[in-house]
């Protein structure tokens, strides 16, 4: 009976973590995330096309969300494949580290901004207030608690299904869960190594 409760707790923490840490799921797009070549820039004709473009774009996203939305960065197929391979390798390493619950090793995969954000008492309090954690009387007091109660149950078997480039050195790793894309990690290339970054 106790093992059933642990399984339910871990499953709930996984769902809660994915919901909280994934600022959202990528919007379905008809465009492929990879462009074979970067489009060449051509001189703009008169400035008259600009006003209709702004009017066409404004109604789609809600105004409050507009500053947070980042355009995807188009890359060559070669760069996409190389980055996909690198990120897939990092996620495999992270899976092993997380399965072993090796907190110290996990820290080496984080950007300083990520460490600061998830060490913040305010952030820890917000996460602790999630229903799955409050129901199980779990209160996060440190980054290590966050690793133990949120990351370990939810990220031990992550799989890379797709990448979204935000810029040449920042990507979102996507895993398809029940047919829907979910952001696993936002990663930033720091001195040649992919590190988990803050959303």
Average pLDDT in the chain? 76
Q: Which residues, in sequence order, are bridge partners of residue 186? A: 172, 197
C-alpha span between 188 and 110 (Å, rounded): 9
Cβ neighbour number for residue 165 with a 10 Å cutoff = 20
pLDDT in tens, 173-190: 999 999 999 999 999 999
171 contact partners, CB below 8 Å, separation of at least 6: 83, 87, 163, 164, 165, 186, 187, 194
pLDDT in tens, 86-121: 999 999 999 999 999 999 999 999 999 999 999 999
pLDDT in tens, 134-148: 999 999 999 999 999
Instruction: Break the chain into its structural domains and give their ranges.
Output: 2-23+71-197
- Is pTM beyond 0.75? Reply is no
Work out the widest C-alpha separation in the chain, in whole angstroms: 72
- Nearest Cα neighbor of 87 from 24, 171, 22 is 171
Integer-rounded Cα radius of gyration of the chain: 19
């Amino acid at each position: 009976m106790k093992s059933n409760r642990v399984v339910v707790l871990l499953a709930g923490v996984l769902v809660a973590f994915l919901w909280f840490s994934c600022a959202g799921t990528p919007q379905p797009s008809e465009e492929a995330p990879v462009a074979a070549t970067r489009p060449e820039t051509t001189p703009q004709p008169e400035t008259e096309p600009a006003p209709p473009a702004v009017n066409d774009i404004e109604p789609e996203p809600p105004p409050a969300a507009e500053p947070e939305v980042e355009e995807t960065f188009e890359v060559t197929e070669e760069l996409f494949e190389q980055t996909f391979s690198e990120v897939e390798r990092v996620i495999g390493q992270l899976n092993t580290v997380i399965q072993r619950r090796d907190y110290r090793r996990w820290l080496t995969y984080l950007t300083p901004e990520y460490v600061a954000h998830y060490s913040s008492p305010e952030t820890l309090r917000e996460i602790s207030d999630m229903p799955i954690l409050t129901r199980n009387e779990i209160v996060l007091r440190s980054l290590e608690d966050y690793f133990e109660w949120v990351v370990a149950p939810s990220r031990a078997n992550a799989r890379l299904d797709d990448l979204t480039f935000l810029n040449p050195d920042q990507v979102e790793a996507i895993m398809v869960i029940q047919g829907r894309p979910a952001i696993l990690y936002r990663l930033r290339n720091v001195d040649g190594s992919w590190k988990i970054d803050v959303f």
